[in-house]
Amino acid sequence: MMTDLRELYQEVIIDHGRRPRNFGILTDANYHEEGFNPLCGDKILLYIKENNSVLEKLQFEGVGCAISMASASLLTETLQGKTVNEALEIFTDFSQFITDKIFSDRLGKLAILGGVTQFPARVKCATLAWHTLKAILDKNKKNSKIDLTRSAESHILSMLEKDKKSIGFRLSIKKTGCSGFAYVPTLIEKVTPTDIYFKTQNGLKVYIDCDILAFVSGLLIDYKDDEANLNIKQKRLFFINPHEKNRCGCGESFTIE
């Protein structure tokens, strides 16, 4: 690399390290994750506001060396407005670039960080923000696996319309005496700190406690006639869970493999 180009790259890293972009708490984030690099002492907290699989806002806080801060700063700039899938592709490209020096056009400005490939000790500084991002994207993937049919979505939206105080729909799980767990759908007026949410196509906010994500991954929520009670002709919500093992006779509770 020509000397003046290398100097320019260094200047950009120093500039981003000193005046990181998108720095500070993102109060309306639906994801946040902490990353720590014990080799250098770099620490970051990455915040993402994701909506319909688009990374609408990214911000971070942290302390660390110029490379770790510049890398986090460039990450927030590069991924603004990208979809979750695009972000995953850029993560893969960036990892290959830093560890195997394979360059991809998608990297754009991130090429500036290529200099660390000559300093193996600094690779962890450059990739810290990216591994933190990956942890968030993995969480998001699990989260987005819950699906609602059109009829379930419009049923819940119309309930919300009637109940002006509620801000969204929350799905939780409770232990029941019968044979294990039961789903508890409710309308909520405020969010619990451990809640994460996702938005459906028509803007319904579905809140889930992050502790139960593993239980509800792959879940489909439907709203249809209760076939066991056809004489009353009443519709209700159905929860179709691919991980369900046993359903008790009354149909209320289930266990998970």
The CA-based angle 22-131-54, given to 5 degrees, is 55
Min dist CB 39 to Zn ion, Å, is: 7
Min dist CB 122 to Zn ion, Å, is: 7
Q: How far apart are CA 166 and CA 152, in angstroms?
A: 17
Tokens of 43: 């620490």
Closest C-alpha to 23, from 53, 60, 78, 49: 60
Judged by beta carbon, residue 65 or residue 167, the one nearer Zn ion is 65
Min dist CB 82 to Zn ion, Å, is: 25
Min dist CB 31 to Zn ion, Å, is: 23
**Between 3-18 and 66-79, two packed helices, what is the crossing angle to 10 degrees?**
80
CB-based contacts of 109-117 (< 8 A; 24+ apart in sequence): 109/12, 109/74, 109/77, 109/78, 110/74, 110/78, 112/9, 112/12, 112/13, 112/70, 112/74, 113/13, 113/67, 113/70, 113/71, 113/74, 114/9, 115/6, 115/9, 115/10, 115/13, 116/67
Interaction pattern, residues 123-152, with Zn ion; x per rule: CB under 5 A: --x---------------------------
Min dist CB 64 to Zn ion, Å, is: 5
Min dist CB 110 to Zn ion, Å, is: 17
Q: How far apart are CA 246 and CA 31, in angstroms?
A: 33
Does position 65 interact with Zn ion (CB under 5 A)? The reply is yes
Judged by beta carbon, residue 68 or residue 200, the one nearer Zn ion is 68
Asked whether 232 and 243 are in contact (CB, 8 A), the reply is no
Tokens of 106: 């998608």
Judged by beta carbon, residue 36 or residue 238, the one nearer Zn ion is 36
Q: Which stretch binds Zn ion (CB under 5 A): 42-50, 92-100, 178-186, 204-212?
A: 42-50
Judged by beta carbon, residue 70 or residue 152, the one nearer Zn ion is 70
# residues near Zn ion by CB under 5 A: 5
Does position 68 interact with Zn ion (CB under 5 A)? The reply is yes
Residue from 9, 21, 40, 213 in contact with Zn ion (CB under 5 A): 40
Judged by beta carbon, residue 43 or residue 82, the one nearer Zn ion is 43
Min dist CB 34 to Zn ion, Å, is: 15
Backbone angles phi, psi at 222, to 5 degrees: -125, 160
Residue from 26, 30, 31, 42 in contact with Zn ion (CB under 5 A): 42
Q: Which stretch binds Zn ion (CB under 5 A): 12-20, 62-70, 108-116, 247-255?
A: 62-70
Q: How far apart are CA 43 and CA 41, in angstroms?
A: 6
Binding positions for Zn ion, rule: CB under 5 A: 40, 42, 65, 68, 125
